[in-house]
Structure 1
């Protein structure tokens, strides 16, 4: 397992037993545009098949990222989320940098990610736009025939607690 500690007390760990799946599910399914409505079972399966990166402070989880990887040549960085109360403290950049450096230590030379709104976070640590003439995809997500885009999920559920 991989662990880092910042001078201000934030801890980062890849220990899957530390991930608070209920909290992560709540974040992703109600506040992350790419995962609105995602079921708890899907979140659990996704994290079980990935390398989880959790950020903690005072015993509670405050951020998360997930990496799908062969741990040798390729990785996909996804589900990066910092809880709103913790934003503005550089945690997203610290988390992405730690993921990049940890994967580099494993020999992974290519990391991909997708974002609509955080390009500057990733550009700061070396990510660049993908070459459109080189990459292809197979995307089976449902598409709204009227717009040709992925449908907008229903309004997030209110979660108490």
Structure 2
């Protein structure tokens, strides 16, 4: 299963992401990867990573690697994976997450993410967003 997932990420985002997948097999710590499975077939992923944009090393951690195989898109899998990753991050004690997207701003706004800025990144227009998980999940961290 892991080689297939690593290949998706390599094909979608390049070889750096393939290595990221291979180093993200952790539980209860970042980096980690969540996999949606249909039967015994992996159909999508979401990751929590320490850094995702080389232009913003000051921002961490990130929701990244949200990917759904083409034939499974439009079924809410990306939304569910993102929600699960957010809940797990909150459970780990993370108060704030960041992400960037080139195409799914509306999806993340539905989940409560806030627009931060837009910038040109890796030859595309990227929207940077963040979310306060403690607020979203009504967690009192005091």
Using the size of structure 2 for normalisation, the TM-score is: 0.66
Q: Give the counterpart of 1:50 among 2, 14, 31.
A: 31
SS in 1 for 2:61: strand
Larger % of strand: which? 2
Partner of 1:112: 98
Larger % of helix: which? 2
Shift of 1:118: 0.6
Q: Give the counterpart of 2:14 among 17, 29, 36.
A: 36
Shift of 1:39: 7.2
Provide the C-alpha distance between the structure 2 equivalents of 1:115 and 1:40, rounded to a whole number of angstroms.
19
Shift of 1:101: 1.7
Q: 1:58 to 1:40 in 2, by over 3 A?
A: same
Give 5+ residue unaligned stretches, structure 2: 51-59, 125-142
Partner of 2:2: 21
SS in 2 for 1:129: strand
In the alignment, structure 1 residue 128 sits paired with structure 2 residue 114: yes
Provide the C-alpha distance between the structure 2 equivalents of 1:41 and 1:104, rounded to a whole number of angstroms.
25
Provide the C-alpha distance between the structure 1 equivalents of 2:74 and 2:84, rounded to a whole number of angstroms.
17
Structure number, greater radius of gyration: 1
Using the size of structure 1 for normalisation, the TM-score is: 0.59
Shift of 1:79: 0.8
Provide the C-alpha distance between the structure 2 equivalents of 1:77 and 1:23, rounded to a whole number of angstroms.
21
Provide the C-alpha distance between the structure 2 equivalents of 1:22 and 1:93, rounded to a whole number of angstroms.
24
Partner of 2:122: 150
Shift of 1:40: 4.3
1:8-35 Cα distance to aligned partner (Å, 9 max, x none): xxxxxxxxxxxx22111221222x2xx1
Q: Is the 8 A contact 2:6 2:18 kept in 1?
A: yes
